[in-house]
Structures are given as C-alpha cells and as structure tokens.
Structure 1
Amino acid sequence: MTTSELGGRVALVTGASRNIGRAIAVALGTDGASVLVHAHRDAVGAAETARLVEAAGGRAAVALGDLADPEVPAKIVEAALAAFGRLDILVANAAIRPEATIEDLSYADWRAVMALCLDSVFLLTKAALPSLKASDQAAIISIGGLTGHSGAAGRVHVITAKAALAGLTKALAHDLGPAAITVNCVAPGLIETKRDGEEPRHHATRTNVLGRRGTPQEVAAAVRLLAGPSMRYVTGQTLHVNGGALMV
C-alpha cells in the first residue's frame, strides 16, 4: 500500500538494477517517491526495477552510465532532474567488490574500486547539491559495508573505499548541516544477494547473533527511514544492518 510520506519527493538510487539497490528503489517508491533508477549497463534489470517501483505506486525513470567515469555522475543527476524536475534524496549504492591480495593488487585495480565506490559519491554529491539545497527535506545516504569497519583478507581496495565512506559521511554532515541536508551511511553485512561470481571468502567465517543472513529489503528499510521526515535530526551516522555481526 502506497503512503504519502515521501509523496512529491524525488530520489536517485545508483546501482539499482538488482539486489539492495532494487530493494531501496522499490521501498522509496512504495512510500510515494519518484525514483531515478541508475544502472551501469544492465538496461533490462533497471527497467524491471522501474516497473516494480511503478507497481508499488511510485513513478520511475531509468538512466545508464559508468559512474567510474568522472563525467557520468553529473549526467545521471541531470537525468533525474530532466525526468522529475527536482532531487531530494541521493542514495549512492553502486559498487564493485573484487577480491585480491595486496601482492596481486595492481594500482589500476585499486583505482577502479576507488573511482566507483568513493569518487563517484563525491561527484554525485557535488552535482546534486544545488537541487538538494533547494529541498526542505534533503538526504544523502551512501551504502557502506561491514568489512569497512571489521576488516577482511583479500579486499584491501574495497575495504579502504567502504571505510572512507564513513569518513566522507561525517565530513559532509558538517559541511551540509547548515543547509539542513542530512548525510548518513548504511553499512550492510551478511545480506543474501545474487552474485555474478563466487561467494566472498570471508563469508565462510562470518557469524552474527541472529544466526541468519539479512535481506535486501531489510537494508532498504534502513535507507527509507533515513530518507524520511522522522529522521531529520540524524546526520553524520553509520547505521549497521548486519544481524549483530559487528556491534559498535
């Protein structure tokens, strides 16, 4: 059932063609938001997410592009404005999580992860700022990760980027607080998602106090909360959604 708490609001969700990104887009649409669904190249998946947003009662549009290209983030923000005329909620979810030891990790591989997982969030924020400042309920939410706080083997580039998102969240909260823009990070861990490759090796040793994996919808619920009017006094925080695998 569609509610109106986010009615009239516009959200941009990156990496939304499946899994957590799709769940976030649908959750925001269910609550009345219009959603710009971004994907790198998966037009079919992005279109399905848009269909699900509309079936839930929201409006949706799709934009494709490689956010690791520094010219693309501004174009994706422009696509949201062209489709809906405003932007209130920026959800930076797009990421890659390859595994490699420090011995095998090339600088090019390091930079590829940083470009998508960290640099794109900076560039999206810069591009979105004029629109967010015009909103009376603006929110920036990045999707971090459990290993950015706990560490893990064979993922030095991914862990560094995810840890940096927590720092970027705090820095932006200070800078954008005077404009009443909230900035938060949601850090999922042990979430049941569909993967292209093998399960990350560190998952074999991870446990949590609930004894199960979470769902993309449970991560989306946290994002939805931070995007809504009831959380306007929460900023600069990292909200962990991991079943108690890490307690801070």
Structure 2
Amino acid sequence: MTNRELEGRVALVTGASRNIGRSIARTLADAGAKIAVVARSDRAAAEAVAHEIEAMGGSAIVLLGDVAQEADAEQLVGETVKRLGRLDLLINNAAIRREAPIETLAFSDWREVMGVTLDGAFLMSRAAIPHLLASDRGAIINIGGLTAYTGAAHRAHVISAKAGLDGFTKALANELGSRGVTVNLVSPGMIDTNRAHSSSGGDPAHHNTTRTLVGRRGTPEEVAAAVLYLAGSNARFVTGQTLHVNGGAFLP
C-alpha cells in the first residue's frame, strides 16, 4: 500500500472499468479513498476492478449509467453519496475514441462522442458540485488528450470534445476556486492501452507519426499518478491547470 493521504475520502471515477480509468480507481484506492467504479454497461469489467480494489484492502462499489444522460448522472452521484457517505473527488474519465474522415463522419457519431466526453463531464460535475463544496478538499479532475493540442487527422469529434474539456476545466476553476474546490485536467499522450472496444480497433493513425522524448509510450499507472497528485493535499494551490503526461511528445 502507498501512503494513505486519501484516507476517509470518496472518489467517483467514470469510465473506470478498463485502461486508464481502471488504473486511476486502483491508485486512488491504494491511497485510501473509497471508490465508486462507474461504467456505462459492462458490469463484469467494473466488478473485476472493484474486486481488485477489495483484494488490495480497499473499498469499492460498482455503478452503471450513461454519463451523457442527465438522470443517469444525477443517479450516479446520488448513489455514491448514499452508499459511501460523501463525495470528495470526481474523475471525469469516460470518453469515446474513434476515427473517421470528416467527409464520412456521421453526425450521430459526432454527437455520441461529444455526449459522453463533454456533456458527460458537465452533467457529472453539475451533479457532484454540491457534495464537493461540502468537502474540505473537493476536486474535479478531467481527463483530456494529446491531440486536443496537436491535432490529428480523422479525429475531429474526439479532438473537439477533448479541447472542450480544456475550456470547461478553466471555466469551473474560475467558478469554484474561491469556494474550496479545485478543477484540473490531466492530458495523457500515447499510453499503452487496450483500444479494441473504444476506437476503430487498433492504434490511432497519428501514433505512427508521434514520438516521445523518452523513447517509449506511457502506462496507465503513470497517468493515474498525476491524478493522485491533483487529488491530494499537496495540490490545493493548483487549479485551472493542464498536467501533460506525454513523455515530451508535446511541449506547451
């Protein structure tokens, strides 16, 4: 176990059943937080993450819901508070990552990506804010992406949604900073993940033209470490910021 700086805290992690979300849930649990593992529909995968957390000595519940639906977002937050007693940390990680040329990009696909990634962050944050304000260390951490800053072909919907998260983060930081809630964004670069169910079936094409300065891809655990820092007591003077975790592939 790591140091227990999040002991007594409750974190809700969307898109927590696999990849980066799974690592975030495990890392925050390892630091002592109780975790609401949120997935849209894959209960088995979400329960596997909860079991992993429990095997580590942590505590977790599984909640299913579509963050792009207003009623679901409110229910996810409400159930977290009802079952775990409070809410201190909201991690908006749920996203859809697909590729399609702009000429063939269906409006329905555009809306679905926007709905989960950007609308979902708005709906979840709005539902969570009253509870985060009641915490002495409330925080919202949004998960962005490298191409929101570099651009890439065939990802207009994904890039637009992730770029929107950057603006959303700054807007909420301005509204909530004086009220004790920090809002930041972690922007992963090329991370070794299983993309078979969330993208076009393999590595995005832009990965073939992007290089890191450290000569390798990152791991989900390295992204989760950045989230843990922003969730902890040492980051209370950090808000409205983007923390890039990309091995030097993008230098702001």
TM-score by length of 1: 0.98
Aligned residue identity for 1:146: L
- Stretches of structure 2 that go unaligned for 5 or more consecutive residues are none
What is the identity, as a one-letter code, of the residue corresponding to 1:157? H
State the distance in 2 between where 1:2 and 1:144 align. Answer: 26
Counterpart amino acid of residue 156 in structure 1: A
Q: Which residue of 2 aligns with 1:169?
A: 169
* Equivalent residue, structure 2, for 1:212: 216
State how far apart, in whole Å, the 2-side matches of 1:72 and 1:115 are. 13
Aligned twin of 1:198: 202
Question: Alpha-carbon deviations, 1:51-99, whole Å to 9, x = none?
Answer: 1222223210000112222321111111211210100000000100111
2:13/2:36 contact within 8 Å kept: yes
Q: Which amino acid aligns with 1:60?
A: A
For 1:66 and 1:6, locate their aligned partners in 2 and report how far apart those are by CA, in whole Å.
Answer: 27
8 Å contact kept, 1:173–1:183:
yes
Contact 2:144 2:187 in 1 (8 A): yes
Greater shift after overlay, 193-202 or 169-178?
A: 193-202
- 3-state SS, counterpart of residue 87 of structure 1: coil
CA distance in 2, matches of 1:113, 1:36: 23
Q: Is the 8 A contact 1:2 1:57 kept in 2?
A: no
* SS of residue in 2 equivalent to 1:123: helix
Please tell me whether the aligned partners of residues 37 and 49 of structure 1 are also in contact (alpha carbons under 8 angstroms). Answer: yes
Secondary structure of 1:153's partner?
A: coil
Structure 2 counterpart of 1:22, which letter? R
Residue 137 of structure 2 corresponds to which residue in structure 1?
A: 137
Give the match for residue 92 of structure 1.
Answer: 92
Aligned to 1:193, what secondary structure does the other structure show? coil
Paired residues of 1:31 and 1:58 also in contact (CA < 8 A): no
C-alpha distance in 1 between matches for 2:208 and 2:62: 36
Instruction: Work out the percentage of aligned pairs sharing the same amino acid.
Output: 56
| Equivalent residue number for residue 236 of structure 2 | 232
Q: Secondary structure of 1:8's match?
A: coil
Q: How far did 1:107 drift?
A: 1.7
Q: Does 1:153 align with 2:157?
A: no
Which of structure 1's runs of 4+ aligned residues deviate more than 3 A?
none
Q: Helix, strand or coil: the match of 1:209? A: coil
Amino acid at match of 1:217: E
Contact 2:67 2:123 in 1 (8 A): no
Are 1:2 and 1:56, in contact at CA under 8 Å, matched by a contact in 2? no
Quote the Cα distance in structure 1 between the aligned partners of 2:113 and 2:27: 27
Write out aligned runs for 1:1-248 (5 A).
1-196=1-196, 197-248=201-252
Asked if the contact 1:88/1:131 (under 8 Å) is kept, the reply is: yes
